[in-house]
Amino acid sequence: MVSLGMLTLGLGGAQGVHAQNTNVPGCGTFVVYAEPDVIEFVDHGDEGLSAGDRRLGRYYFVDEAGNRVGTLHFVTTVLPPDEDGNLVLHQTSMNLFDNGAIAVTANYMLPDPTHTGTSASIEMVEVITGGTGDFEHATGSTSLTTLPDGRFEKTFNVRCP
């Protein structure tokens, strides 16, 4: 469990991009690999996983050579159970690069809702809802696939005006 004070600390780095090279993506299709940094769980209501609880965190993006090219900051809210009793999560995230940011949103389910600190074996599609810098007014989607080593492969399909 983490206090709301940690929420601010956990995402405090969202104001700057942490890329360490000039290999930054642009509009079109590109792939990055997400390596986990921090994932926290905030229990807001009933003890245990319940509607209104939050998952939040940060991943670092690296390219195929392992160079850091950006960060992913996310906040996920647990929604009420669906008709089958599964807890659905709504995620909003910012994908930060030196040349701009890409905002995305998605709904998904954890493979094992008792493990809120991991998204093991998750696959999902996110909708691009906008961006800044080179990605201003961007649309499109991303797809996220878990790799055997625990990282995520994230494919961006970005359409820019």
d(CA 157, CA 17): 20
For residues 1 and 124, which has the higher predicted lDDT (pLDDT)? 124
- Whether residue 23 lies inside any domain: the answer is no
The model carries a pTM of 0.79
pLDDT digits (tens, 9 = 90+) for 41-72: 888 877 777 888 898 999 999 999 999 999 99
Number of domains in the chain: 1
Domain region containing 73? 4-17+28-159
d(CA 31, CA 25): 9
- Whether residue 36 lies inside any domain: the answer is yes
**Residue 4 — φ and ψ, nearest 5°?**
-60, -25
The enclosing domain of 63 has a CATH number of 2.40.480.10
Nearest Cα neighbor of 89 from 50, 62, 63 is: 50
- Whether residue 22 lies inside any domain: the answer is no
- Whether residue 48 lies inside any domain: the answer is yes
